Amino acid sequence: MMKISGRVWKYGDNVNTDYIIPGRYMELTDHEEMGRHAMEGIDLAFVLNVKKGDVVVGGRNFGCGSSREHAPLALKYAGVGCVVAESCARIFYRNAVNIGLPALECPRITKSVELGDDLELDLGAGTVTNMSKGTKLLFTPLPPFMMDVLEAGGLVPYLNKRNVW
């Protein structure tokens, strides 16, 4: 089962793709460079302080806006281990899974965590444990096929592994 541990970066409702990576960076094709601009539209300190495995927590409608794949790519290559939100925009959710970044929907997450809290997420069991506060929340566990896609590193590696092409 896939487990992720990291510090919380907490944001509110309606964090759009322009906040995650501003439109002026849409010509970028280098994923590492995209990661150097993650959350630049809302939090300039993010890229300076994010650590590998950290968890972005959002409110309702996280990743709304354009359908660009750059937003989850920027987060993944900045080192983010997982996005957990009250709800995710549908296209952001699918793009995130397709590039191998877990995106989870967990009711009450924003009321249960603070910036800097340490979280442990068990994707298979559907649990978010706030190690800083000793509390636990539940979310619907990901179906096995989505776990397979995430564990492969995204949809393309998943399909390559199965010789689908």
3-class secondary structure for 65-111?
CCCCCHHHHHHHHHCCCEEEECCECHHHHHHHHHCCCCEEECCCHHH
Mean of the per-residue pLDDT values of the chain: 95
Q: What is the pLDDT of residue 68?
A: 85
Cα 98–102–105 angle (5° rounding)?
Answer: 115
Out of 3.40.50.620, 3.40.30.10, 3.40.50.2300, 3.20.19.10, which CATH number does the structure's domain 3-161 have? 3.20.19.10
Q: What is the pLDDT of residue 163?
A: 84
- Confidence band for 164, pLDDT divided at 50, 70 and 90: confident
Which residue type does 79 have?
G
Q: What is the pLDDT of residue 1?
A: 64
Q: What average pLDDT does the segment 12-36 reach?
A: 96
Predicted model pTM? 0.95
Q: What average pLDDT does the segment 87-109 reach?
A: 96
- Confidence band for 103, pLDDT divided at 50, 70 and 90: very high
| pLDDT higher than 70, residue 159 | yes
| pLDDT higher than 90, residue 42 | yes
Residue 158 CA to residue 119 CA, distance in Å, equals 27
| pLDDT higher than 90, residue 154 | yes
Pairing of strands 118-122, 103-105: unpaired
- Confidence band for 140, pLDDT divided at 50, 70 and 90: confident
- Confidence band for 141, pLDDT divided at 50, 70 and 90: confident
Residue 57 CA to residue 85 CA, distance in Å, equals 5
